């Protein structure tokens, strides 16, 4: 079996599927990638037994058909260090010996039989809807950073997907922050919900970034599948009941701060090194037309202060409004938004703050970020 493939095309797709390949002493074959050649298509498959990612790559040329499992680490390192030239593979289907040729250089290694590679799962009794690839990528990007990491509450380590006939909602929270993404343009035509694991969603986001078109989503009680053109992701769902996230979103945050996002981000980054390592606290004091931000580490006798203009509607009439946040979380939220200006909505300084992008035109998206405050040092 022989085939020829552009180096950059193979590298990009092999890097994407390899995100799922996992070192496992008990099942070492899942640290490899399955190569299958058929009808001038190279199908790459990787799995960690919980999720499976399949990508089809169109070959420049091929002779023969077959399959084998390849050690993806050494092939990836080889491809990274090659110039952007076609790469030829010559594979002995009896011994699984692999010869790679590129730029007058030959590389020899050995693969394994594909017979022991886990079979791709097939879903039955599924519900189905479609979603634009860019919309799905955005939904994952806006929420995945708020997922939890504790195995004590596994449901909070994933992204909650809530289906409605006329829109779709993605939510993630780790109890310190919450991210909610609504899109009114996705008409699922059904009610339902499921919890998506973080790791395969990171791989899916990477795989979708270079793709345009419509993703077909199929799901049942235990699994979900995302399919578009040359790519399919199949994953187990996280079992359990997701917390009532709507109950923690305050409805009476009437004090509204409007501010330029990039400038706020830059100023926060500049003073962040002066925060206490224990709390990462940044103190925000809001007056009529400007905010003052202070970072201080008393143990190190270090302090930084910066001010910038803003618009503030102090509906509750609170004098010298001050609130504290973890600068780490706040920087992550501001980095994850992309509008020129953002809106903060506050109630009491001890209550959660809400952060929204300020859109210049109407949009089908509705993005909300919630952040719990930290207690201010006296």
Q: Are 350 and 253 in contact (CB under 8 A)?
A: no
Listed as ranges, residues in the chain with pLDDT below 50 are none
Strand, coil or helix: what is 139? helix
pLDDT of residue 232: 96
Q: CA distances (Å), 86 to each of 5, 46, 69, 291, 302, in order? A: 6, 23, 21, 56, 56
Strand, coil or helix: what is 134? helix
> pLDDT over 90 for what percent of the chain?
84
Fold that domain 249-371 belongs to in CATH: DNA Polymerase III; Chain A, domain 2 (3.10.150)
What separation, in Å, do the N-terminal and C-terminal C-alpha atoms of the chain show?
A: 72
| Polymer length of the chain | 378
pLDDT of residue 103: 86
Burial class (CB in 10 A: 0-12, 13-18, 19+), 87: buried
Q: Do domains 127-247 and 249-371 have the same CATH topology?
A: yes
Report the C-alpha gap between 137 and 121 in whole angstroms.
23
pLDDT of residue 377: 66
Report the C-alpha gap between 59 and 86 in whole angstroms.
10
Domain ranges across the chain: 2-116, 127-247, 249-371
The alpha carbons of the chain give a radius of gyration, in whole angstroms, of: 25
Neighbour count for residue 24 (Cβ, 10 Å): 12
76-92 pLDDT, tens digit per residue, is 999 999 999 999 999 99
What superfamily in CATH does domain 2-116 come from? Answer: DNA Polymerase III, subunit A, domain 2 (3.10.150.10)
pLDDT of residue 187: 94
Report the C-alpha gap between 161 and 369 in whole angstroms.
16
pLDDT of residue 319: 80
pLDDT of residue 107: 95
Note the CATH number of domain 127-247. 3.10.150.10
């Amino acid at each position: 079996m022989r085939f020829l493939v552009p180096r950059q095309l193979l590298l990009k797709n092999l890097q994407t599927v390899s995100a799922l390949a996992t070192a496992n002493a008990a099942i070492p074959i899942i640290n490899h990638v399955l190569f299958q050649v058929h009808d001038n298509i190279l199908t790459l498959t990787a799995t960690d037994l919980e999720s499976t990612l399949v990508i089809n790559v169109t070959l420049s040329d091929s002779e023969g058909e077959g399959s084998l499992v390849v050690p993806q680490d050494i092939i990836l390192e080889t491809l990274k260090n090659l110039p952007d030239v076609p790469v030829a593979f010559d594979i002995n289907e009896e011994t699984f010996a692999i010869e790679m040729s590129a730029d007058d250089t030959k590389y020899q290694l050995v693969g394994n039989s594909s017979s022991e590679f886990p079979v791709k799962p097939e879903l039955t009794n599924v519900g189905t809807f479609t979603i634009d690839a860019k919309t799905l990528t955005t939904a994952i990007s806006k929420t995945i950073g708020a997922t939890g990491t504790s195995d004590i509450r596994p449901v909070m380590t994933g992204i909650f997907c809530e289906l409605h006939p006329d829109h779709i909602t993605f939510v993630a929270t780790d109890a310190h922050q919450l991210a909610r993404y609504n899109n009114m343009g996705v008409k699922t035509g059904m009610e339902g919900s499921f919890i998506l694991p973080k790791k395969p969603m990171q791989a899916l986001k990477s795989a979708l970034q270079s793709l345009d078109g419509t993703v077909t989503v199929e799901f049942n009680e235990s699994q979900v599948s995302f399919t578009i053109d040359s790519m399919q992701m199949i994953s187990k769902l996280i079992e359990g009941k997701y917390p009532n996230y709507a109950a923690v979103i305050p409805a009476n945050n009437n004090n509204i701060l409007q501010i330029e996002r990039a400038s706020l981000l830059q100023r926060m980054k500049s003073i962040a090194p002066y925060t206490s390592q224990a709390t990462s606290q940044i103190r925000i004091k809001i007056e009529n037309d400007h905010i003052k931000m202070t970072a201080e580490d008393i143990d190190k006798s270090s302090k930084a202060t910066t001010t910038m203009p803003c618009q503030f509607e102090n509906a509750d009439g609170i004098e010298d409004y001050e609130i504290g946040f973890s600068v780490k979380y706040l920087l992550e939220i501001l980095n994850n938004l992309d509008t020129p200006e953002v809106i903060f909505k506050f109630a009491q300084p001890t209550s959660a703050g809400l952060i929204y992008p300020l859109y210049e035109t109407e949009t089908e998206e509705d993005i909300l970020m919630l952040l719990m405050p930290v207690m201010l040092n006296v």
